[in-house]
Amino acid sequence: MTPNSEGYHATKIKSIMRKCQELAAILAAEYAENRIDKYSPALILSLKNWSKKNESFRSSYSAGKLTIEAGSPLAQIYAICQLNIASKACHLADYLGESHPRFPLRPLWLKANIEIPLSPHMTLHLPDFMLAEDASLLLPRFCKRLLECGYNAILIGTQVYSKTTPIPSPQSTSSPDLKAMLQQFHDHGIKVILKPSIALDSHTFSFFEQKVQTLLMTSIDTLFQLFPDIDAFFWESLWQTEAYRSHATAFESTDPEIVLSEVRLLEKCLKKQAKLIFYLPNSSEKEAYQQVRWLPSLVDDMGPGSILAFNAVCGALYDDHENNHPLWNALRESPDTSATPLMPILNVGLIKQGEGLWPTTNFELIDRFLSRCYRHQFIGAIGLTGHLPQAGSVLDCNLWVLGQSLWRNLPVTLLAETWFKAFRPKENPLFCLKIMALARSIALDMSFLRANFEGKDSTSEPLKNEAAKIFGDSVLARLKQIKWLLDNQKIQKFSQTPSIKEHFPFFARDIKQLLTAFLPTFNLPLSHSMENDEPTSSFWKADLETPICGEKNSIMEVIFSQNHYL
Residue of higher predicted confidence among 334 and 247: 334
At 403, is the secondary structure helix, strand, or coil? helix
Q: What would the mean pLDDT of 435-463 be, rounded to a whole number?
A: 86
Beta bridge partners of 197: 123
Cα(320)–Cα(161) distance, rounded to whole angstroms? 16
User: In the prediction, which pLDDT does 199 show?
Assistant: 79
Instruction: Please state the three-class secondary structure of 301-346 as a single string.
Output: HCCCCEEEEEECECCCCCCCCCCECCHHHHHHHCCCCCCCCEEEEE
Task: Kindly state the percentage of the chain with pLDDT values over 90.
Answer: 70
Q: What would the mean pLDDT of 418-423 be, rounded to a whole number?
A: 96
Residues 64 and 181 in one domain: no
Q: What would the mean pLDDT of 296-312 be, rounded to a whole number?
A: 94
**Domains held by the chain: number:** 3
Predicted TM-score (pTM) of the model is 0.92
Domain-located, residue 171? no
Give residue-wise pLDDT tens across range 267-285.
999 999 999 999 999 888 9
Give residue-wise pLDDT tens across range 281-301.
988 899 899 999 999 999 999
Residues 272 and 356 in one domain: yes
Q: Which residues contact 123 (CB under 8 A, 6 or more apart)?
A: 115, 116, 117, 168, 169, 172, 196, 197, 199
Query: pLDDT category, 172, cuts 50, 70, 90?
Result: very low
What is the CATH number for 81?
Answer: 3.30.160
Residues 443 and 535 in one domain: yes
219 backbone dihedrals φ, ψ, rounded to 5° = -65, -45
Give residue-wise pLDDT tens across range 22-63.
999 999 999 998 876 656 899 999 988 766 678 999 999 999
User: In the prediction, which pLDDT does 6 show?
Assistant: 55
Residues 134 and 47 in one domain: no
| Residues 379 and 385 sit within 8 Å (Cβ to Cβ) | no
Residues 48 and 195 in one domain: no
Query: pLDDT category, 548, cuts 50, 70, 90?
Result: very high
Among 396, 421, 445, the domain-final residue is: 396
What is the CATH number for 279?
Answer: 3.20.20.80
User: In the prediction, which pLDDT does 349 show?
Assistant: 97
What's the one-letter identity of residue 175? S
Residues 79 and 137 in one domain: no
Query: pLDDT category, 202, cuts 50, 70, 90?
Result: low
Give residue-wise pLDDT tens across range 83-109.
999 999 999 999 999 999 999 999 999
| Residues 17 and 243 sit within 8 Å (Cβ to Cβ) | no
Domain-located, residue 459? yes
Instruction: Report whether pLDDT(518) > 80.
Output: yes
Instruction: Report whether pLDDT(263) > 70.
Output: yes
User: In the prediction, which pLDDT does 238 show?
Assistant: 84
Residues 365 and 385 in one domain: yes
Q: Range of 126's domain? A: 107-141+152-163+177-396
Kind plus residue range of the DSSP H or E element containing 417: helix 412-423
pLDDT, mean over the chain: 89
User: In the prediction, which pLDDT does 15 show?
Assistant: 66
Cα(557)–Cα(552) distance, rounded to whole angstroms? 6
Residues 343 and 452 in one domain: no
Poorest-confidence range of 43-57, 171-185, 523-537? 523-537
Domain-located, residue 276? yes
User: In the prediction, which pLDDT does 532 show?
Assistant: 59
Cα(395)–Cα(566) distance, rounded to whole angstroms? 14
Domain-located, residue 146? no
Residues 209 and 62 in one domain: no
User: In the prediction, which pLDDT does 364 show?
Assistant: 95
Give residue-wise pLDDT tens across range 134-145.
888 999 999 999
Residues 91 and 156 in one domain: no
Task: Kindly state the percentage of the chain with pLDDT values over 70.
Answer: 86
User: In the prediction, which pLDDT does 563 show?
Assistant: 95
Domain-located, residue 312? yes
Give residue-wise pLDDT tens across range 384-400.
999 999 999 999 999 99
User: In the prediction, which pLDDT does 171 show?
Assistant: 46
| Residues 386 and 110 sit within 8 Å (Cβ to Cβ) | yes
User: In the prediction, which pLDDT does 176 show?
Assistant: 75
DSSP 435-489: HHHHHHHHHHHHHHHHHHHTT-STT-S---HHHHHHHHHHHHHHHHHHHHHHHTS
Query: pLDDT category, 247, cuts 50, 70, 90?
Result: low
Domain-located, residue 3? no
Query: pLDDT category, 160, cuts 50, 70, 90?
Result: confident
Give residue-wise pLDDT tens across range 458-470.
555 778 889 999 9
Residues 212 and 358 in one domain: yes
Query: pLDDT category, 533, cuts 50, 70, 90?
Result: low
Give residue-wise pLDDT tens across range 422-431.
999 999 999 9
Residues 204 and 330 in one domain: yes
Domain-located, residue 52? yes
